[in-house]
Amino acid sequence: MNNHAYVFPGQGSQFSGMGRILYDNNADAKKLFEQADAILDFKLSEIMFTGTDEELKQTRVTQPAVFVHSVIAFKILVNELPDMVAGHSLGEFSALVANNVLSFEDALKLVSTRAKAMQHACEINPSIMAAVLGLNDEKVEDVCADVENETGEVVVPANYNCPGQLVISGSIKGIDIACIKMKEAGAKRALALPVGGAFHSPLMMPAKEELAGAIESITFNTASCPVYQNAVAKPVTNPSEIKKNLVAQLTAAVRWTQSVQAMINDGATRFTEVGPGKVLQGLINKISKETVANGIS
């Protein structure tokens, strides 16, 4: 089988000027940007096109911006139904528009609710994430567990990005101690990331409850192709199961390495990243040398 998988980036792929070419060159794209501004009740498009890195880095802006760019690029530039889809963290919402589970409008409302809830959770519990490079997953998991047991601080694996690159998430004190211990265990690098808080950890529980309520109020359609969801790293088409996994994702790890491997096992030979940046193409090329990964933005 030569399946074509479409994948969608998450927070961290944003840049000033994102989506501007689509807006300037396509009337349908322009309409969708304007629709997004109206739904959000602020000029997201202006921040995307001319905002500073600092403005774009705010979670309540970043998540809708990456989502809007990805979905508009998919709607305007992709002329085929995917065989399978996946998204990295926030990107899972873009994937659910691409496989017809959610409408653009409903997904954007959910993304906005998620972003605000996550930003609020970060304010309640000051916390952080860190990238660990050059250790195998099992060793990172062991160090996280040891730090939690010894200190009582929250420290968990958060993003299984590719072999040798795992992001951890937790309290500031816990992550500081974990970074030292990761280097002692042989990590090439263990460094804090410039993010608002401990995404994909138990510290996101307040946001999870809020998102669950919002998701329950929205109609999810049966998927036109499988979505490989972060929390389970396997194909899902059932709407109620998709909802459950989408809620779980806020406090569960993003199992990206495992999701890509599952897609390849199920026949994916070509991956196209849709949206800003090239982060996922790079990760996929590290996960498998046998597949082709390119991008559309």
pLDDT 10s digits, 118-143: 999 999 888 999 999 999 999 999 99
Return the pLDDT at 2: 86
**Burial, 61: exposed, middle or buried (Cβ in 10 Å; 0-12, 13-18, 19+)?**
buried
One-letter amino acid of 53: D
Backbone angles phi, psi at 255, to 5 degrees: -95, 70
Q: Kindly name the residue from 200, 201, 288, 297 that is annotated as catalytic.
A: 200
Residue 286 to residues 135, 194, 260, 289, 293, Cα–Cα distance (Å) = 15, 23, 11, 7, 10
Average pLDDT for the chain: 95
Give the DSSP letter of residue 127. Answer: E
Is 201 annotated in the active site? no
Confidence band for 31, pLDDT divided at 50, 70 and 90: very high
Return the pLDDT at 194: 79
How many whole angstroms separate alpha carbon 287 and alpha carbon 275?
Answer: 20
Over the stretch 59-104, which tens digit does the pLDDT of each residue have?
899 999 999 999 999 999 997 899 999 999 999 999 999 999 999 9
Q: Kindly name the residue from 13, 45, 70, 89 that is annotated as catalytic.
A: 89
Is 88 annotated in the active site? no
What the chain holds in terms of domains, given with CATH numbers, is 3-123+202-296 (3.40.366.10), 126-192 (3.30.70.250)
Residue 292 to residues 85, 121, 225, 265, 295, Cα–Cα distance (Å) = 15, 38, 20, 15, 10
How are beta strands 235-236 and 227-228 bridged, if at all?
antiparallel
Q: Provide the CB-side half-sphere exposure for 225 (13 A, CA).
A: 20
Over the stretch 154-205, which tens digit does the pLDDT of each residue have?
999 999 999 999 999 999 999 999 999 999 999 999 999 978 899 999 999 9
Confidence band for 106, pLDDT divided at 50, 70 and 90: very high
